[in-house]
Chains A and B, each alone.
Chain A
Amino acid sequence: MIDFELSPRLKGTQKMLRAFAEQALRPQARKYDEEEHEKPIDLITMVHGFMKGGVGGAMGGEKKKEEGGEKKEKKRSEAQLTTMITVEEIFYGDAGIALAFPGQGLGGAAVQATGTPEQKEKFLARFSGDKPVWGAMAITEPEAGSDTANIRTTAVKDGNEWVLNGEKIFVTSGKSALEDSEGFVVVWATVDAKAGRGGIKPFVVEHDTPGMQITKVEDKLGIRCSDTVSISFMDCRIPEDNILGSAEVVDPSKKSEKGFKGVMATFDATRPLVAAMSLGVGRASLDFLKQTLADEGLEVRYAISPNRMTAIERDIAEMEADLKAARLLTFRAVWMLDNGQRNSLEASMAKAKAGLAVTHITQKCVELMGPLGYSRKLLLEKWMRDAKINDIFEGTGQIQTLIIARNVLGFGRDKLK
């Protein structure tokens, strides 16, 4: 039966997180936007205390282990849905601070998706320790963004070690993971440059590993509380057991859930969560605008014909519909995941729609608030800057559209570039 009702447990979580977002995150939002590269340590410690890395699930780590990865029976759970609601609410508070929350992040998600039970135990236990710890993931290179098959960082086996060489950029929470805590970064590198995607493997590199160095901390348009770094690897040696999954070069044309296809499957889980991030920021902007207008006595008449609405009513009605549509598409993608269904198409639809809708909504809210919107006295301009990242990271809007198009047309990468 079609049902849009959240369980009482989830509604409770949602309410609690909304209060937390408004009381703990929102008041600090401006400060950590202005003071880029600073972090709200007290808040982070507090969050770690009651969530023990659970919010890190925000970036995809929450998935409960199904050992062996085999889906024997149709699973019904609310794990992804819970994460989506969590993400949406804390991003309603502040996107920058939310992204700086400790936890396993994308690095942990990669370990979850491709690691052995022993590796999961070894690498993930730290996130529930006493101190906040971050996990990070390094895929992007100066010459390889969405084009991940073009990765040039190399991993060469030497005795019982792997030797990594190369340069990674745009690593979210890289500094937090490697310098500010005892975390790790999952580095994607090729073991056989001629093999293309089939040769690309994930490696866990621990903090303080010699040969690894953070070379740059990016100054950004938004989400300034979250650190984004470049990392260089120069003869960086790691234990042979730190490769996640098999070292065997796989033929990409073969259907395999391991290796690179496995990574792409992780994105099916993380993309709806990036959509949820957008939704939180979009909601914050639209709520603020509507409240301001309501305070001035303007009531939006949603039910009258559009041709009788004022321009501002029409704008608001359109934004509401866009945001709601994006949210429902995200619910669907997450629900499919929780029910053991493949959701690549739906995950990309959710992210494409949410990323674009919220990019537009936050811009429109600044516009409609006139000089107040443009001023840094209010958070609207910040939300507009923060929101833009959601149309970029975890695959740009264009990449999502490409994935949707390939799915719909039934064309592989050979037929639709």
Chain B
Amino acid sequence: MLSFELSEEQAMVKETIAGFATDQIEPVMREMDESGEMSPDLVKTGWELEIIASCVPEEYGGFGEGPSALTGVIAYEELAHGDLATALHICAPTALAYTVLLEGTAEQKTALLPAACGEEFKAAATALIEPRYSFCPSMIATKAVRDGDDYLLTGQKCLAPLAAESDNMLVFATTDPGAGFAGVDAFVVPKATKDLVVGEREKNMGLKALATYEVTLNGVTVPLAAKVGGNEGIDFLNLLSRSRLALAAMAVGMMRRAAEHSRDYAKERVAFGEPIGSRQAIAFMIADMFMETDAARMLVWEAAWKCDRGEEFANDAALAKNYAADKCMKVCDGGVQVMGGHGYVRDNMPELWFRNSRAFSTLEGMVMV
């Protein structure tokens, strides 16, 4: 029966993370963006939210029953409402963990999941995106070729978060070029593997506190056991869609933040003798920001709900992600515009959100619900 009410658990998750964002992220986010350094203390506290451990079953070191997409999107919205770079950093290990949890063999789960549920934050990178303008996850150019008892991985990746500090990297490559999503497989590659080159840290427009890297695979040799899911392989579109939900939820969180900031400013800032929010030109922009935030959230929730019920949700997740990415950019643009020149200077937050919001149209696969 139709309902828009959070469960008690979801309400608690939301509240806890909102508290973390206000108390921990808020005071340091500008400084982190300026220095390009993620605060280790912040990551430590963020890890204590036990985002992964709460989803992984006991036998693999957690205390959950598998990831709930709905609870995930509620949590991620709050995290990104705090700060997107922080949210992506803390959630970066989810991609490898959930891929293994959902699609891995028993051996892979036993080998990899306990580390993802440990007390210390353990970085795990994902290499999906490739550096070309026409990149699409259905047309991955990185190849995985069977060679006896090994696979040979060759290709170029970028925007791999935390690649330099990760022991393991989840590399997406095609085993069947031309087969689209169905031809994509995932490999767990230890960073120390020969011919795997983690390049210089990338310099991006936004997300400056998030360390991302180019990764080159010069015929990297991995054993068959490195292929997630063994012979069965993975349902790549399902995983990609779960990552789209995660990213879309984060876009919603950012939109909400920018909308609230604009609202508060427009109530305080006086021009021509009254608050600028008393002018329809400003007030209507703000109304749209809130409406689109809610609209995007509804799309995300519905797709996540379908995901949790085991229904087909790939198209819904894609619609939700593209919608949220597009509206997030517009809302964050409005966030700068409402403040005028004050929105353009780095003393205030909107310019940072403006830079960060552009990332959503590019990001894929980095985090997962």
Give A contacts to B, CB under 8 Å.
1-7, 78, 81, 301-308, 317-318, 320-322, 324-326, 328-329, 331-332, 335-336, 346, 349, 352-353, 398, 401-402, 404-406, 408-411, 415-417
Contacts and interface: CB of A to CB of B under 8 A. Distances in A.
Contacts of B275: 415
Interface of B: 1-7, 10, 70, 133-139, 181, 237, 240-241, 263, 266-267, 274-275, 277-278, 280, 283-284, 286-288, 290-291, 294-296, 298-299, 301-302, 305-306, 314-320, 322-323, 361, 364
A7 B1 CA distance: 5
A141 B5 CA distance: 41
Nearest to A314: B322
Contacts of B288: 401
Most chain A CB within 10 A, of B2, B5, B139, is at B2
B318 A302 contact: yes
Contact of A325 (B181, B263, B298, B317): B298
Given A317-B319, A408-B263, A408-B290, A3 B3 contact: yes
Contact of A408 (B241, B286, B316): B286
A214 to B, nearest CB: 36
B136 A308 contact: yes
A409 B306 CA distance: 34
A258 to B, nearest CB: 28
Contact of A416 (B278, B299, B305): B278
A321 B320 contact: yes
B134 A324 contact: no
Given A1-B3, A302-B319, A305-B136, A349 B291 contact: yes
Contacts of B70: 2
Contact of A303 (B4, B290, B318): B318
Contacts of B320: 321
Nearest to B2: A335
A352 B278 CA distance: 20
Nearest to A346: B294
Contact of A332 (B4, B284, B314): B4
B278 A321 contact: no
Given A1-B3, A306-B322, A404-B287, A349 B294 contact: yes
B213 to A, nearest CB: 21
Contacts, number: 154
17 contacts: A2-B3, A2-B305, A3-B2, A4-B305, A5-B1, A5-B2, A81-B2, A301-B138, A303-B138, A303-B237, A303-B318, A317-B322, A405-B277, A409-B263, A411-B278, A415-B275, A415-B277
B283 A405 contact: yes
A411 B168 CA distance: 53
Contacts of A308: 134, 136, 138-139
Top 8 nearest A-B pairs (CB, nearest first) are A328-B298, A325-B295, A405-B283, A305-B136, A405-B287, A404-B287, A302-B315, A321-B323
A6 B2 contact: yes
Question: Is chain A's binding surface mostly helix, strand, loop or mixed?
Answer: helix
Contacts of B305: 2-4
B108 to A, nearest CB: 26
A409 B4 contact: no
Contact of B267 (A3, A4, A318, A410): A410
Interface residues of B, dominant DSSP? helix
B309 to A, nearest CB: 8
Contacts of B10: 2
Given A335-B3, A416-B277, A326 B284 contact: no
Contacts of B291: 329, 349, 352-353, 404
B298 A332 contact: yes
Contacts of B181: 303
A405 B4 contact: no
A402 B280 contact: yes
Contacts of B133: 307
Nearest to B274: A415
A318 B278 CA distance: 32
A404 B290 contact: yes
A1 B2 CA distance: 9
Contacts of B134: 307-308
A293 to B, nearest CB: 16
Contacts of B314: 302-303
Given A329-B294, A416-B278, A409 B2 contact: no
A310 B314 CA distance: 19
Contact of B299 (A305, A321, A410, A415): A321
A415 B291 CA distance: 21
A3 B301 CA distance: 9
Nearest to B296: A325
A411 B314 CA distance: 41
Contacts of B135: 305, 307
B228 to A, nearest CB: 20
Contacts of B2: 3-6, 78, 81, 331, 335
Nearest to A320: B319
A3 B315 contact: no
A11 to B, nearest CB: 11
Contacts of A81: 2
A181 B298 CA distance: 43
A324 B3 contact: no
A308 B275 CA distance: 44
Contacts of B3: 1-3, 335
B307 to A, nearest CB: 12
Given A6-B1, A328-B301, A406-B283, 9 more contacts: A2-B305, A5-B2, A305-B135, A306-B361, A318-B323, A402-B280, A404-B291, A409-B266, A409-B267
